[in-house]
Chain A
Amino acid sequence: EAGVAQSPRYKIIEKRQSVAFWCNPISGHATLYWYQQILGQGPKLLIQFQNNGVVDDSQLPKDRFSAERLKGVDSTLKIQPAKLEDSAVYLCASSLGTAVNEQFFGPGTRLTVL
C-alpha cells in the first residue's frame, strides 16, 4: 500500500515570495492534516480536512496561508507572502476517519525562507 506522498521535498525561497506544497493521502483516507514542525519542536496542526470540508483551521495564519482539498483527495498548502519564521518542515498526514484511527505521515517538505 502506498503511503502519503508529498512534494517537493525541499524548497528554498526569499522572504515575501510565494510557495505551494502538495500532498496525496493514502487511498481511501477521508481525513487529511497539515502540520508545521519548527526545528526542535513537535508538529503543530495547521488545518484538518474531512473529505473536502475544513474541520479545524484555528491555527492557520489565514492572512498568508491557504489550503484546499479539491475532490476530497489531493491537497495543496500555499504561503503568500512567506516570512522568515515560516522556515519549517510541513508534514501532511491522513487517516481513515478521525479520533479512533491512526494518522499516517508523509516525509514532509522542508522549507527554508532566506
Chain B
Amino acid sequence: KQEVTQIPAALSVPEGENLVLNCSFTDSAIYNLQWFRQDPGKGLTSLLLIQSSQREQTSGRLNASLDKSSGRSTLYIAASQPGDSATYLCAVCGSSNTGKLIFGQGTTLQVKP
C-alpha cells in the first residue's frame, strides 16, 4: 500500500531564504508525482508534475526533483517571498495508471517579511 510522507509538517523562514520541502513514498512504482499549493480555505493549485521517466521540473522559482529508486522528491523554492506562505502537498499517481492520487499530509510554510 502506497504511503506518502512529508517532512517537516511546518516550516518558518525569513524572506529571501532558499528552502527545500521533502516528500517520500514507500512504493517506487509510480506513474507521476505532483506538487500542489493550498491556501487557507481554498482548493489545490497544481505547481509541478513530474513523470516517472523525468528527474526534475522547473517553473519560475520552483524546482522539483524526483528520485524514484529512493522514493523521494524535493521541492526547492528559491528566494522565498511572503506570498509563498501556504501549505504544500505532494501526491503520487500509482503505476496502475488510473489517475488516483495518494497525498502526503502537507508542509505548512510561513515566510516572514
Least distance between B74 CB and chain A CB atoms (Å): 17
Find the residue from B46, B97, B99 having the highest chain A CB count within 10 A: B99
Contact check, B100 vs A48: say whether CB atoms are below 8 A apart: yes
A40 in complex: contacting residue of B36, B97, B105, CB < 8 Å: B105
Q: Is A14 an interface residue (CB 8 A)?
A: no
Contact yes or no, B104 A42, CB < 8 A: yes
Interface residues of A in 47-91 (CB under 8 A from B): 48, 55-56, 91
B103, A43: Cβ atoms under 8 Å?
yes
Does A24 belong to the interface (CB within 8 Å)?
Answer: no
A97-B99 in contact (CB<8A): yes
- The distance from the CB of A11 to the nearest CB of chain B, in whole angstroms, is 14
Give the docked Cα–Cα distance between A25 and B30 (Å): 26
Cβ contact within 8 Å between A99 and B45: no
Q: Mark B1-30, 1 if CB is under 8 A from A, else 0.
A: 000100000000000000000000000000
Would you call A21 an interface residue if the criterion is a C-beta within 8 Å of the partner chain's C-beta atoms? Answer: no
Assess the A103–B105 pair: CB atoms within 8 A. Answer: no
Are B34 and A102 in contact, CB atoms less than 8 angstroms apart? yes
| Set B91, B98, B105: member contacting A98, Cβ < 8 A | B98
Q: Which residues of A contact B97 (CB under 8 A)?
A: 98-99
Nearest-CB distance from B109 to chain A (Å)? Answer: 15
**Chain A residues numbered 9-61 whose CB sits less than 8 Å from any CB in chain B:** 31, 33, 40-45, 48, 55-56
The 7 nearest A-B residue pairs measured at CB: A42-B103, A98-B99, A105-B43, A105-B44, A99-B97, A99-B31, A107-B43
